Amino acid sequence: MFFKSKFSYSNSNSSYSDLLLDIDSGNIEAIYFYPRRRETDVLYKNGKKERIPILYNDQLILEKATENKVELTINNSRKESSTANSFASLGLFLIFLVAIILIFRSTSKLASRAFGFGKNKSKFIIIEDVETRFDDVAGVPEAAAELKELITFLKEPKKYTDLGAKVPKGVLLVGPPGTGKTLLAKAIAGESGVPFVSIAASEFVELFVGIGASRVRDLFSQAKAKSPCIIFIDEIDSIGRQRGSGIGGGNDEREQTLNQLLTELDGFADNSGIIVLAATNRPDILDAALLRPGRFDRKIEVMLPDLDGRKKILSVHSLSKPLSKNVDLGYWASRTVGFSGADLANLMNESAIHCAREESKFINDLHIENALDKITIGLRTTVISSPNMKKIIAYNEVGRAIVSAVKNGIDSVDKITILPRAGTLGGYTKLNPDEDVISSGLISKKLLLSKIEIALAGRAAETIVFGENEITQCSINDISYATNIVREMVTKYGFSIIGPISIVSEGSDVFLGEGLFRKKSPFAENTCSRIDKEIINISKVSLRNSMDILNKNRYLLDKLVDILLNLETIDKKKFKKETFDFLNV
């Protein structure tokens, strides 16, 4: 804030295009950039000061200011700040600090020990004015559209009560970690302009019975005093697990806390103006009483973003980052299938760190590529010096890539490298996940078999090239991965000659006398023997299929290994170029 506190700015007589021309002409002394407010404060060299609106997610201002060496300050806040406000905040803080000291001095240690046992020590975070808006939440349009209706409930409850409708008391946000559940809750509070009371569910749980229930009562008491408002409980499965589960019948403190929460939810007065939002990625373990109508009336799924959603999320997180003109966020969205919003935010942050490390002015594709490698395949470790070891690793990685290209298409291969990464025995073959599978959650038997064949392709390549007696443990992780898939096909999905049976009772609770303590298998020994034979048979057939594919493409296998040994890394474009005319399907 190098000049903001000294000057006030008049409304702009200049347009956005005039601002760009003035930057190139050297007429501007400094710019104060507000990406989220979509405006700039401009100080000209002649002393004139103006406030000029800009375009959404503008990168041109950053580029031109950097190129013309114009002093630039970026502020992501939605609010205007001032020196007076800063002094006022400091004064209030000092008054509060003095008051706390006086209170502690007036309270004896004996009294605090005697009466402080049941005192609420949980961390309620109360935000009176939330800055987050739905513009800040991208990639989950369906969930955002559903939640926008809650704003009307909070602002105009009479509109619904006049028609006999009841305002929802609770909304459960369900989805994988990092998909933006907490951000959506903040956006509702920000758009509706009501206070936001946030707490983690684990804050309720204590060693002593009754403390958690007391804290639940305190939470709702504070919320009612600030009505209308939003209560947000993160990771509600900490206290919302099904009652009676666990060894010995459950946990009394957690269950009493849950009972109190159920009572508070169902005991709301009509039109209280309080809506409870809760987030979890384990809805399968929640108690049925918590999910019934009248408590958590709505369940909204917040899923991983699709291609368009990922592009919008990358756009949001690059607001204040100087991207090079050559960076195409659509391309990077296509390279990040399966990434959550948090993963994409981390990608852009790591890219900025790589850019700063190289003392570059703009984030380019190489910075993003390095950041993506770090996130997906880990940090590079010591370079392999042994030529023989490099050759073995190269055949493993190229073998997996060729089988993947045959089974899922050439575009399924993103990168091949023999540079060792943390957690791997050698190199790494990065494959692009299937967008349809991630969005639908459905996976076919054919796709599972192809995954097994790809995983075993490294062992197949070693066997073909070096012989049965010269194979190494380089494929240990892939063999373990393939075995787990085969076992699930046979015992869970019914994808084998055994038939449509499920041996794994997923999601069952552990009660005394069953589950953990069950000694006898529910299936006959003959069935277990057939299952073992089927797992072994599918694995061996898949290995032979991989070997057949690689024998048909032996020329391409050797060719790509030579290229990989020379370059150490083959990217998607290079692989497609070298493979297109020689791949035998």
Q: Which residues are marked as active site?
A: 397
The tokens describing 127, both together, are 């935000």
Residue 395: name the closest of 552, 566, 569, 558 by CA: 558
Please report where in the chains the tokens 């006022």 appear, as a residue.
88
**What amino acid occupies position 566?**
N
Beta bridge partners of residue 276, listed in sequence order: 170, 231
Residues sharing a CB contact under 8 Å with residue 122, sequence separation 6 or more, in sequence order: 199, 203, 204, 215, 218, 219
Dihedral, 103, 107, 111, 112 alpha carbons, nearest 10? 50
DSSP helix/strand/coil, 351: helix
How many CB atoms lie under 10 A from the CB of residue 9?
19
Dihedral, 76, 124, 202, 170 alpha carbons, nearest 10? -80
Contact 541, 450 (CB under 8 A): no
The helix-helix angle for 387-408 and 525-552 (nearest 10°) equals 100
Residues sharing a CB contact under 8 Å with residue 517, sequence separation 6 or more, in sequence order: none
Contact 543, 459 (CB under 8 A): yes
The tokens describing 93, both together, are 């803080």
Contact 259, 216 (CB under 8 A): no
CA angle 49, 53, 57 (to 5 degrees): 130
DSSP helix/strand/coil, 27: coil
Beta strands 39-44; 28-34: pairing state: antiparallel
User: CA 270 from chain center: how many Å?
Assistant: 36
CA distance 369 to 363: 11
